[in-house]
Amino acid sequence: MMDPERFIPYWRVTSRLSFMLAGFLFLLMTLGLCFSHIFDRFQFLGFPVGVLLAGHFVVLLIIGLMFWFTGTQDHVDNNYGANEDL
C-alpha cells in the first residue's frame, strides 16, 4: 500500500481528472442532446448540423476522450508510483 505522502497528491490528481472529465463528457452529451436542434436549419454533408453535432461529433469526441483518459490516468499512476507494474 502507498504511504500517505505519496497517496494524497496521487488521489487529488486522480479524483480531479475523473470528476472533471466525467462532468465535461456529461456536459457535452447534455448540450448535444438538448440544444443541438438550434442548428438544424443549417446543413452540412446533407445532414442537419444539429444531428451531425449530437449524433456524430459529440460521440466521436467522447470516444477519443475516453481513450485519452486511459493513457493519461496511466501516466498519473506512473508518475506517483501507483502503477500496477511497479
Contact with another protein (CB under 8 A) among 5, 13, 60, 79: 60
| Concatenated DSSP letters of the chain | ---HHHHHHHHHHHHHHHHHHHHHHHHHHHHHHHHGGGGGGSEETTEEHHHHIIIIIHHHHHHHHHHHHHHHHHHHHHHTT--TT-
| Smallest separation (angstroms) from another protein to the CB of 46 | 3
Contact with another protein (CB under 8 A) among 27, 35, 42, 79: 35
Subset of 12-31 contacting another protein (CB under 8 A)? 14-15, 18, 21-22, 25-26, 29-30
Regarding 2 and contact with another protein (CB under 8 A), the answer is: yes
Regarding 53 and contact with another protein (CB under 8 A), the answer is: no
| Smallest separation (angstroms) from another protein to the CB of 66 | 4
